[in-house]
Amino acid sequence: MPKIKLSQRTIEIVKEICSTFENNEGELINVLHEAQHKLGYLPAEVQELIANELNMSVAKVYGVVTFYSFFNMIPQGEFPISVCMGTACYVRGAEQILHEIKRQLNIEVGQSTPDGKFSLNCLRCVGACGLAPVVMVGEKVYGRVAPQQIRKIIAEYQEGCVRPERHEM
């Protein structure tokens, strides 16, 4: 993993988030949630800083980050695509959907397209099993997705969309 140096501003943002939660170890998940919301992802250096602020071991922080598929350690694309692989989605063809997205974007799960536009991840159950199989792009949910629809969904984001506001590290 390449080492990055956090900007002074990023350090301030993370410290501020921690202090909002009173630097309480028990609030780790909320802190991570907020940090990812503000920064887009949680690189090692951010986790170290959070561990330091909450006075806990960085191994524990990393343990939580890797336990929940929601947290990311690599920068996400402008439009992160998540394919639900929960039981309901899986039996209704999520695997073919995933395969089709990989084929069209030419990336593997956990990677981003070279232009930084899309990234691809799997997740477990978004609580919309009635709509299985489910794909999420950013915070928008697509239900009952068929492989033939993938091209159209991706095209929606190819141009003319506003980039979500995020702090650069």
Partner 1 sequence: MDMINLTIDNRPVSVERGTSVLQAASQIGINIPSLCYMKLEDLNIENKPGGCRVCVVEVEGRRNLAPACCTDVSEGMVVKTHSMRAIHARRTVVELILSDHPTDCLKCAKAGNCDLQSLAQYLGIREIHYEGEQSTFREDTSPAIIRELDKCIRCRRCEMMCNEVQSVGALSAINRGFNAVVSPAFEMNLDHSVCTYCGQCVAVCPTGALTEVDNTGAVIRALSNPDKTVIVQTAPAVRAALGEEFGNEPGTLVTGKLAAALRRLGFNYVFDTDFAADLTILEEGTELLNRLTAYLGGDKEVKLPMLTSCCPAWVKFFEHQFPELKDIPSSARSPQQMFGSIAKSYFADKIGVNRKDLVVVSIMPCVAKKYECSREEFSVNGNPDVDFALTTRELAHLINLANIDFKSLPDEDFDQPLGESTGAGVIFGTTGGVIEAAIRTAYEVFTGKKLERLDFTELRGMEGLRRATIDFDGLPIHIGIAHGLGNARKLLEDIQQGKSQFHAIEIMSCPGGCIGGGGQPYHHGDAEILKKRQMAIYREDAGKPIRKSHENPYITKLYEEFLGSPMSEKAHHLLHTEYFDRSKSER
Q: How far is the CB of 77 from partner 1 (least distance, A)?
A: 22
Q: How far is the CB of 86 from partner 1 (least distance, A)?
A: 13
Instruction: Residue 33: name the closest of 22, 42, 20, 25 by CA.
Output: 42
Residue 25 contacts partner 1 per CB under 8 A: no
Residues 78-117: b if buried by 16+ CB within 10 A, e if exposed? bbbbbbbbbebbbebebeebbebbeeebebeeebbbeeeb
Per CB under 8 A, which region of 15-23, 54-62, 94-102, 154-162 contacts partner 1? 54-62
Which residue's CB is nearer to partner 1, number 1 or number 162? 1
Which residue's CB is nearer to partner 1, number 73 or number 137? 73
Per CB under 8 A, which region of 29-37, 53-61, 84-92, 98-106 contacts partner 1? 53-61
Residue 1 contacts partner 1 per CB under 8 A: yes
Which H helix or E strand runs over 152? Answer: helix 150-158
Contacts of 16 (CB under 8 A, 6+ apart): none
- Separation CA 105–CA 109 (nearest Å): 11
Residue 155 contacts partner 1 per CB under 8 A: no
Interface contacts to partner 1, rule CB under 8 A = 1, 44, 47-48, 56-63, 66-67
